[in-house]
Amino acid sequence: MAPYPGCVQIRPMTLEDTPAVEELTAEAFHEHDVRTRPADWPVPHLRSASQAELRAARLRHLVARDPAGCWVAIDSEGAVVGAAAALLRDGLWGLSTYAVHPGVQARGIGKQLFRAALSYAPEGPGLICSSHDPRAVRRYRLGGFDIHPAMLMWGKVDRSTLPRLPHGREGGPNDIEFMDGIDREARGAGHGEDHEVMLSQFRLKIVETPRSRAYVYIRAEGGPYLLAATDEAAARKALWASLAESDAETPIDSHSITGHQAWAIDVGLAAGMQLHNRGYVATRAMAAPAPYIPSGHFL
């Protein structure tokens, strides 16, 4: 396809841009999901207003905390036509948001945005939960990332499979330091103040046994938003704790599971969920985190 005919300016994202960026990413991912949906998968829906507000709050946090990682592409009319938002925590770079408006994709805008976001940390550990868009994964590989094909677990949790969980407890703000310690063991970097945002948006369960520790942020419908553990035994318990929060009638999903997370696949299959392959986890200068399930936004 020809390069974008209008003049596109790449500039730092501001807080005022965030509503337009939220709308743009909703459209771009919806269009992508509709266009590439396997015929036997449920019809994709646009984000609800409440989901959009949660995402917008996470984006505002990044613009305030990581201004050098957040960029927009602006067309000659002043409209936001693309965005990328990256974070940097304890030396770990992560790509949190990346999309170009469906009408102007594949014209070089995404390449410029990715370059800008990557300039926030041109070297060192990096982590991306990639969609299955071949244009995205091309960018990541050409940018020096290792590409790990990923799986998605989907379905209703069979209540009869749920184990008794004697080691689980509710978590809260006093657990941030504790969780950063687990993050460092699992992926080499804490989430720091991202925990404050996650605490405001998700339920938190902590698993502590004499030998191991784990935490899991749980989505409203159940299932893990982000899970980190010091070993697989604790990770399994935390994943079960998140599945137990779903109800019998609502299918839930869990993304970004690579072949390194066989423990998660085993739990999902035991709970009666289906396994599909979808997307990638891309890493730079680090192994794919294993007793771990990343969040697409805070990774």
Ligand X SMILES: CC(C)(COP(=O)(O)OP(=O)(O)OC[C@H]1O[C@@H](n2cnc3c(N)ncnc32)[C@H](O)[C@@H]1OP(=O)(O)O)[C@@H](O)C(=O)NCCC(=O)NCCS
Residues at the interface with ligand X (CB under 6 A): 28-29, 32, 98-100, 105-111, 130-131, 133-136, 138, 142
Closest approach, Cβ 109 to ligand X, in A, equals 4
Residue among 12 and 172 whose Cβ is closer to ligand X: 12
Residue among 29 and 178 whose Cβ is closer to ligand X: 29
Displacement of CA 122 from its chain's centroid (Å): 21
Write down the number of H helices and E strands in the chain. 8, 13
Strand, coil or helix: 210: coil
Residue among 34 and 287 whose Cβ is closer to ligand X: 34
Closest approach, Cβ 198 to ligand X, in A, equals 20
Residue among 64 and 106 whose Cβ is closer to ligand X: 106
Nearest in space to 239 (alpha carbons), one of 259, 220, 218: 218
Q: What DSSP letter does each residue of 85-141 carry, written as one string?
A: EEEEETTEEEEEEEEE-GGGTTSSHHHHHHHHHHTTSSSS-EEEEE-S-HHHHHHHH
DSSP 8-state assignment for residue 174:
G
Nearest in space to 256 (alpha carbons), one of 167, 118, 150, 159: 150
Closest approach, Cβ 55 to ligand X, in A, equals 13
Alpha-helical regions (H) of the chain? 18-36, 49-65, 109-118, 134-142, 176-187, 194-201, 232-243, 262-270
Closest approach, Cβ 297 to ligand X, in A, equals 11
- Torsion sign across C-alpha atoms 256, 262, 264, 267: positive
Residue among 28 and 118 whose Cβ is closer to ligand X: 28
Half-sphere exposure of 75 (CA within 13 A, CB side): 15
Residue among 150 and 197 whose Cβ is closer to ligand X: 150
Residue among 144 and 172 whose Cβ is closer to ligand X: 144
Closest approach, Cβ 133 to ligand X, in A, equals 3
Residue 129 β-bridge partners: 281
Closest approach, Cβ 29 to ligand X, in A, equals 5
Closest approach, Cβ 129 to ligand X, in A, equals 7
Residue among 131 and 295 whose Cβ is closer to ligand X: 131
Measured between alpha carbons, how far is 269 from 229 in angstroms, rounded to an integer?
Answer: 20
Closest approach, Cβ 127 to ligand X, in A, equals 12
Quick check: 286 and 92 in contact, CB under 8 A? yes
Quick check: 117 and 71 in contact, CB under 8 A? yes
Residue whose C-beta lies closest to ligand X? 110
Q: Which two tokens stand for residue 215?
A: 């935490």
